[in-house]
């Protein structure tokens, strides 16, 4: 097992400070944006947020964008510290392998934002930095006027995930963004699986996590294509809950039948898969829960930092959603549902 005694001991204290459902609900009860930011500043999640009047540049900018930038920077710094705390090259390599999967999430967020005309600020808010894509690269790609240009910038910066998505661009006219997203996910997951090959408990934990991510990808594809025949090369191999025969059998099923078949495989209720945002949360939980169980069984294993990394990234996304949604006037009940609080 890789040496993670020190890193895992520090994570125990950090996890206690994560924003749970009660804290998110409290955030939403505050009447103004400044009141919400003040709540965040008092908690570990928002400790990096600038105080009011802390510099002309912050005052001149959109306060939500400033807050989101601070949250992303704090996340990136914490991930770097976690890698530094890991004792030995093997532990760091495995942690980096899982963090590298997030490159696909960032590429997909950029593709969607550019394709649908999202503001640069909103795209940057959801495309969290990762080892293969720093904040500056993400900003440049989010500022592109076309998907091809955004992917070209990222691929030119050395992102193999963006390169894979760029190679699927020819399918966009016929099938929309799904082929690009599948290509990005496949490239990131296959890379992580290669890095986790070999003996050892920690490699086995990472392999199982990659398998869960593959299953979640395949489930999301089925939900997106409910009732239609799957496209060529739609299935991502390597999961443990959904084999290819089951995937092909379920592909033509209607939405209700598909949700009923997938729900027991992912430990959720069929209605959890009914809407895109609730399905995302259900699949996210299905990926996170095995890591939490592995962390309880092996408190010195790599499952501990992996579970925390996923929780910490989810926290940043949810806080951003609360800030943006509240500013846009979304009803509180709807926001609570969106963030799972």
DSSP 122-137: HHHHHS--BTTB-HHH
pLDDT for residue 237: 93
Confidence band, pLDDT 50/70/90 cuts, at residue 325: confident
Q: Where are the domains of the chain?
A: 196-301
pLDDT for residue 55: 46
**pLDDT higher than 60, residue 52:** no
Of all residues in the chain, the percent with pLDDT exceeding 70 is: 88
DSSP 241: S
pLDDT digits (tens, 9 = 90+) for 79-125: 888 888 877 788 888 888 888 899 999 999 999 999 999 889 888 88
pLDDT digits (tens, 9 = 90+) for 258-314: 999 999 999 999 999 998 888 998 999 999 999 999 999 988 889 999 999 999 988
pLDDT for residue 143: 95
Under 8 Å between Cβ of 230 and 251: yes
pLDDT for residue 47: 66
For the chain, give the mean pLDDT: 85
Token output for 202: 């920690």
Token output for 5: 């005694």
3-state secondary structure the chain: CCECHHHHHHHHHHHCCCCCHHHHHHHHHCCCHHHHHHHHHCCHHHCCCCCCCCCHHHHHCCHHHHHHHHHHHHHHHHHHHHHHHCECHHHHHHHHHHHHHHHHHHHHHHHHHHHCCCCHHHHHHHCCCECCECHHHHHHHHCCCCHHHHHHHHHHCCCHHHHHHHHCHHHHHHHCCHHHHHHHHHHHHHHHHHHCCCCCHHHHHHHHHHHHHHHHHHHHHHHHCCCCCCCCCCCCCCCCCCCHHHHHHHCCCCHHHHHHHHHHHCCCCHHHHCCHHHHHHHHHHHHHHHHHHHHHHCCCCCHHHHHHHHHHHHHHHHHHHHHHHHHCCCCHHHHHHHHCC
Least trusted range by pLDDT, from 69-73, 155-159, 161-165: 69-73
pTM for this one?
Answer: 0.87
**pLDDT higher than 50, residue 56:** no
The Cα–Cα gap between 191 and 321 comes to 30
**pLDDT higher than 80, residue 42:** no
Closest CA to 45 of 288, 336, 317, 333: 317
Over range 143-156, report the average pLDDT. Answer: 95
Instruction: Classify domain 196-301 by CATH architecture.
Output: Up-down Bundle (1.20)
pLDDT for residue 141: 95
pLDDT for residue 41: 82
Confidence band, pLDDT 50/70/90 cuts, at residue 51: low
């Amino acid at each position: 097992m890789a040496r993670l005694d020190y890193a895992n001991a520090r994570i125990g204290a950090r996890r206690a400070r994560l924003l749970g459902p009660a804290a998110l609900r409290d955030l939403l009860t505050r009447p103004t944006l400044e009141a919400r930011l003040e709540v965040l500043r008092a908690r570990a999640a928002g400790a990096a947020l600038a105080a009011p009047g802390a510099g002309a540049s912050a005052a001149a900018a959109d306060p939500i964008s400033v807050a989101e930038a601070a949250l992303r920077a704090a996340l990136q710094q914490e991930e770097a510290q976690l890698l530094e705390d890991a004792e030995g090259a093997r532990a760091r390599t495995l942690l980096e392998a899982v963090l590298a999967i997030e490159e696909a999430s960032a590429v997909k967020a950029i593709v969607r934002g550019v394709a649908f005309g999202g503001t640069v600020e909103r795209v940057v808010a959801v495309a969290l930095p990762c080892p293969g894509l720093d904040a500056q690269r993400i900003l440049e790609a989010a500022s592109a006027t076309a998907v091809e240009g955004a992917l070209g910038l990222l691929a030119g910066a050395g992102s193999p995930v963006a390169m894979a998505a760029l190679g699927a661009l020819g399918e966009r006219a016929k099938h929309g963004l799904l082929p690009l997203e599948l290509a990005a996910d496949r490239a990131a997951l296959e890379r992580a699986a290669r890095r986790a090959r070999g003996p050892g408990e920690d490699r086995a934990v990472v392999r199982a996590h990659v398998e869960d991510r593959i299953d979640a990808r395949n489930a999301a594809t089925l939900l997106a294509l409910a009732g239609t025949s799957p496209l060529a090369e739609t299935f991502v191999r390597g999961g443990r809950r959904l084999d290819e025969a089951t995937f092909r059998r379920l592909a033509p099923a209607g939405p209700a039948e598909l949700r009923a078949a997938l729900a027991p495989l992912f430990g959720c209720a069929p209605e959890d898969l009914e809407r895109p945002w609730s399905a995302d949360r259900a699949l996210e939980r299905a990926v996170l829960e095995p890591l939490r169980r592995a962390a309880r069984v092996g408190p010195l294993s790599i499952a501990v930092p992996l579970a925390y990394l996923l929780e910490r990234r989810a926290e940043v996304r949810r806080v951003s959603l609360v800030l943006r949604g509240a500013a846009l006037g979304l009803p509180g009940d709807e926001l609570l549902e969106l963030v799972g609080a």
